Amino acid sequence: MAQSFSITAGNPTCKLNPDRQAESTFTLTNSNGADKLLGQIKVRPLGEAQSSWFTIGDQPERTTQIEQEFKQGTHQVRVKINVPPKVAPGKYSFRIDAISSDHPDDDYTEGQTVTIEVPEAATVSPPPSRWPWIALAAAVVVAVAGVGAFIALKPKPTVPAGLAGVSYEQAASAVTAAGLVPARKDQPTNSQPANSVIAVTPNSGEHVDKGATVTLTVATSQAPPPPQPPVIVEISNPMVEVTTPQNKKEMVALDYCLNWAANCGKPAADAYCKSHNYAASQSLDKKDNDPTTAVISTGQMCTAPNCTRIVAVRCVKRPVLMFNPNLILSPQARQLAH
């Protein structure tokens, strides 16, 4: 079974606030390799949990399924939880599933199970029946002032330190644990390892509001430069050095065949180009019935009227240097590269 997505829960346990509400965050990764993948996200209540308790992201109330395109990389999925007061206290569970819209029957992923802890309903004791109204008003004023002071003095979340240089998944997990929301921004570069964080906005150590977005700039590999076209050198009237019966060195026209009357055409041209430190031959021109010629592999000379010689050969230059723009070259090396 294929799995184009992977799902990780930010926290396996979800505790409700006094209003029996909470939010659970999941990290969803498109590991299919495609730039975009159309997928469905579904909330799966487990056991006695009910679908009506859940809402995905900022969708309308009780929306437990969405369909959208997911770019390659990591995405955050938020699930809002609202448990009715009549639900008995205890532990309930759910998960989210990711399904490929193109192959829903054989390409789906089940996420990690998250446990919801539903507490006892809070009880409020009635005030003493003989409590003086003035004292009650004073207590309310003091309580409101205390709450206001607590909110004003409560420290804000801090952007975690040590995010630069780690993988995006590690950084996103640390940001989520700090009560913040990670967002990914890809930056093509070959100077840093792929999928590593190279910048953080806001900066690490800054105080921000709870739930603020932290942008993680992530290195991605640049595409390699396109291959350069081959360099062709044309040589007219190619000659072969042979030794005559009189033990003299002579330059004789290149025969059309690599061996005597065999392996004719390109094999002979390839051998000639390679003997002159080229990679191979690209093409050749020949002339029939034009002796004298010499076979390049043996030095044998053909003097018969039907000898065929190569009158021009086009050789492919060998690549001198595969240039890497990230290398610092010496002046001599730069000269060789050109």
Say whether both 216 and 236 belong to one domain.
no
* Digitized pLDDT (tens) for each residue of the chain, 338 residues in all: 678 888 999 899 998 998 999 999 999 888 777 778 888 899 999 999 998 898 988 776 667 788 888 888 888 889 999 999 999 999 999 999 989 888 888 888 898 899 999 987 666 565 555 556 566 776 766 666 665 555 556 688 999 999 999 999 999 999 999 999 999 999 998 889 999 999 999 999 999 999 999 999 999 987 777 788 999 999 999 999 998 888 899 999 999 999 999 999 999 999 999 999 999 999 999 999 999 999 999 999 999 999 999 999 999 998 765 545 544 444 554 554 44
Q: CATH no. for residue 45?
A: 2.60.40.10
Work out how many domains the chain is built from and give that number: 3
Residues 216, 242, single domain; the answer is: no
Residue 227 domain-assigned (yes or no):
no
Question: Closest Cα partner for 195 from 174, 225, 173, 165?
Answer: 165
Residue 16 placed within a domain: yes
pTM check: above 0.85? no
Q: What tokens appear for 102 in the block?
A: 């193109």
CA distance 159 to 258: 73
What would the DSSP string read from start to end of 149-173? Answer: HHHHHSPPPBPPS--TTSBHHHHHH
Which residue range forms the structural domain that includes residue 87? 5-118
40 plus 104 within the same structural domain: yes
Q: How far apart are CA 117 and CA 120, in angstroms?
A: 10
- Beta strands 239-243 and 249-254: pairing type? antiparallel
CA–CA distance, 24 with 1 (Å, rounded to integer): 27
